[in-house]
Amino acid sequence: MNRKLAKEAGPRTPFARKRAMIVGATRGFSRIASWARVACIVGSLSIPAFAQPEVGLVGGVTRDSSSGKPVPGAQIIAHSLNKGTDQSTVTGADGIFTFTKLEPGLYEIAATKEGFRNSSTHVEVSVRKIARVELPLTIAEDLPRATLKPDDAPLTERERQMLLRIERLEARLEAMAAANTNVGAEPLVASLTPAASAAPASFPQTSRSSIVPPPAPVAPPDHRLPEALQAPDPRPAVDTETPFAYGDFTWLNGSPRNKDTVLDTKFFTPEIRFDTHYMEDFNQPKDHTIVGSTESFRSGEVQIEQASVGGDFHWQGVRGRILFMEGLFATTTPRNDASAGVGNWDLRAAYKYVSEAYGGYHFNVNHGLNVDAGIFVSYIGLFSYYNFDNWGYQPSYVSSNTPWFFNGVRVQWFPTAKLKIEPWFINGWQSYAKYNGHPGLGGQILWLPKEWLKVVGNQYGFGQDNLGLPHTERIHTDDSVEIRFYNNQTKDRGISKIAMSLTGDAGAQYGGGLCGTCAPSKGKESFVGWMLYNRYWWNKDKYAITFGGGQMSNYGRYLTLLPPINGADAVTGSPYFTELPGQKAHMWDSSINLQYMPRQYITWWAELGYRHSDVPYFAGRGGVTPPGFPLGGTNGAPGQFACMNGAPSGATDLPTATSNCGSVGGVWFPDLRRSEAKFSVGVMVKF
């Protein structure tokens, strides 16, 4: 059957059926009903249409001018008389058509339909207005039908494609039908019916063997299976775009475990932290002073280690963060930075109440690119500066002995959702200021390839970070891995998680008479350390216990926290615990920490720890504060030996000090021990 025949074959031919796909067959609507439908359709379109910028609507109906019946399948062209552009549509079975995205202006709305004369009208389209038109079509009996090819009507691109598809299908079906004639006349309409079962009875049926199988789709069995038996579709329920959002990393040491942010606004997200504890140093220092830590400071007392308020500012790409800190942190943290002794202005006072303060901008590059400047908490040593985030309270030396801040600029680049590359341009090794001529360069690479694995490396170099040693440079590497072995949140009781962390640190100072690998007698300045922690959670993470500890060996003691003997700090130094090239400090520790976490915002904890040093280091019963002052304080000269009455000796060398203090009972010495055992309890809150 050729195509011409198909066109003339009447409504049961493929062509007629295909046309009917567009034309439809419904007739007989009343004029009122038609207009009601126009109103309904236009009305229903108004919402999405008005969500678009500045467009108007045109709705209408085509009718047979003689009978008044709607004319389906008429081609409607909206020709802009202002711009000369065209839009096109086809009337539905009820003769209705709509244009929903017409720009304002004057339009000619024209209707064409095979067997009818063309009809048109003008209409003014206004923004957010609905224009209604009616296009009567007159039967063109005098026109030869052959000239009214449907292809003559201007079509939209989509309609043209639809018709092309239909024509291709027709050609294919005709070819199939032609092939069929050799074995029997399969009615083409049957081929058009995919199931080959709806052939009209008026067509002769052929034997099954003669039927060319129609190109019916093969229905997969899934459609007839109960849903439970169907293969599940892969539905990754994770955000793969936001960095590290694909997994739950609240188990990590150094990350808060909160699952919710309580207070959250469009521009500012506040943060509040409280950290209060009671510590009992079994050495019972009479001045209640604990030394050699950036987490433990006072014995036999209830102390507030941290009381912080602040939060994140965010508006589009602009960002900023500030977190103030009160409590012991405000005075115990700045004292470890010797850079404040360079030049003038009291930098320690300037920053003592600020743990973080920076501003920057977020760029939508890859998975994010940030440029921030200000003061940041440092990431060296795995544990967070904020104890609420940590598995334990008193970490080992490679974490505790690294101060917790740096001033400078950082760039955070997230090339993937699992990787962060963060270079730093900073004043120095976790310092407020620059010690000498060189700034510090460094950076962090954080990789979270799986929810159960964290790999992080911090590297530092170039900086000249020694007070008064301008030709000495420092390098350091701090690398950690955290692994969660087990995770089962389905059980009410029993182990719910097991994880471990391992950190290794190494570094050296060199130049200016110092060396990293030489003999201690030649001025060796090096650092090697590690720490290992293992943690068990149970009863759905309500409880957790952490065992761990570590070691460090620090020749030159440049990363050994100076005991606050007589109020000494990193600037003043102390004649009682010198930090000279080649001097060794080899220490180890271990601890066990129990946490009770009934709610995500609060942690009750208890910890038992033991620390050991191969040189006298920890405060003993006699304490580290000179006697003799009415209030029991220091004498204001921590860089000198103190006399037994507490007065400064006026000397930094022992022979002179001995001589100067001879009249008041001699030189006072702090009670430094090689070991320390400590029991602590506390509560921490974070919102």
Partner 1 sequence: MRNFLKQSLGLAAATVCLLAADGVWKSKPVAEWTEEDAKQVLAKSPWSKEIRATITRRLTEEQLREGGQMGQPRGIGNEGVDPKGSGPKVSPNIFGGPGGDDRSARSLNQPITLRLRWETALPVRLAELKAHEAEPPTLEGDGHRVAVYGIPGGDFKGDPKQLGEPLKHLAALKREGKKDVRPVMAEVFRRESGLVVVYLFPPSAEITRKDERLQFNAQIGRIVVAETFELSEMEFLGKIEL
Residues 333-392 that bind partner 1 (CB under 8 A): 362, 367-370
Helix axes 157-180, 14-23, angle to 10 degrees: 160
DSSP lists the bridge partners of residue 591 as 548, 609
Residue 259 as a binder of partner 1 (CB under 8 A): the answer is yes
Stretch that binds partner 1, among 62-70, 90-98, 111-119, 286-294 (CB under 8 A): 90-98
Tokens of 497: 């998680």
Identify which of 684, 683, 682, 685 has the alpha carbon closest to the alpha carbon of residue 279: 682
Cβ atoms within 10 Å of 2's Cβ, excluding its own: 9
Q: How far is CA 675 from CA 2, 282, 576, 586, 619, in A?
A: 103, 10, 17, 12, 9
Least distance to partner 1, CB of residue 475, Å: 27
- Contact with partner 1 (CB under 8 A) among 146, 229, 237, 631: 237
- Contact with partner 1 (CB under 8 A) among 239, 346, 614, 653: 239
Report how far residue 409's alpha carbon sits from residue 433's, in angstroms, rounded to the nearest whole number: 13
Interface with partner 1 in residues 496-525 (CB under 8 A): 496
Residue 235 as a binder of partner 1 (CB under 8 A): the answer is yes
Least distance to partner 1, CB of residue 584, Å: 38
Residue 539 as a binder of partner 1 (CB under 8 A): the answer is yes
Stretch that binds partner 1, among 232-240, 323-331, 339-347, 652-660 (CB under 8 A): 232-240
DSSP lists the bridge partners of residue 672 as 619
Mask: binding to partner 1, 20-39, rule CB under 8 A, as x and -?
xxx-xx-----------x--
Work out the burial of residue 148: count CB atoms within 10 Å of its CB; fewer than 13 is exposed, 13-18 middle, 19 or more buried.
middle
Residue 667 as a binder of partner 1 (CB under 8 A): the answer is no
Tokens of 366: 């890859």
Interface with partner 1 in residues 397-426 (CB under 8 A): 412, 414, 420
Where would I find the H helices in 390-496? Answer: 397-400
Report how far residue 87's alpha carbon sits from residue 104's, in angstroms, rounded to the nearest whole number: 13
Interface with partner 1 in residues 543-582 (CB under 8 A): 543
Least distance to partner 1, CB of residue 524, Å: 38
Residue 97 as a binder of partner 1 (CB under 8 A): the answer is no
User: Could you identify the residue written with the tokens 């204001």?
Assistant: 636
Which of 76/192 has CB closer to partner 1? 192
| 8 A C-beta contact, residue 80 and residue 105 | yes
How many degrees, rounded to 5, is the angle at CA 395 between CA 393 and CA 397? 150
Residue 267 as a binder of partner 1 (CB under 8 A): the answer is yes
Interface with partner 1 in residues 114-153 (CB under 8 A): none
Stretch that binds partner 1, among 133-141, 290-298, 306-314, 395-403 (CB under 8 A): 306-314
Least distance to partner 1, CB of residue 262, Å: 5
Interface with partner 1 in residues 177-196 (CB under 8 A): 189, 192-195
Residue 94 as a binder of partner 1 (CB under 8 A): the answer is yes
Sheet holding 130-137, edge to edge: 96-102, 56-64, 130-137
Residue 494 as a binder of partner 1 (CB under 8 A): the answer is no
Amino acid, single-letter form, for residue 628: G
Q: How many CA atoms lie within 13 A of 204 on its CB side?
A: 6
- Contact with partner 1 (CB under 8 A) among 28, 233, 343, 345: 233
Stretch that binds partner 1, among 302-310, 468-476, 525-533, 541-549 (CB under 8 A): 541-549
Stretch that binds partner 1, among 110-118, 313-321, 431-439, 474-482 (CB under 8 A): 313-321
How many degrees, rounded to 5, is the angle at CA 380 between CA 415 and CA 390? 95
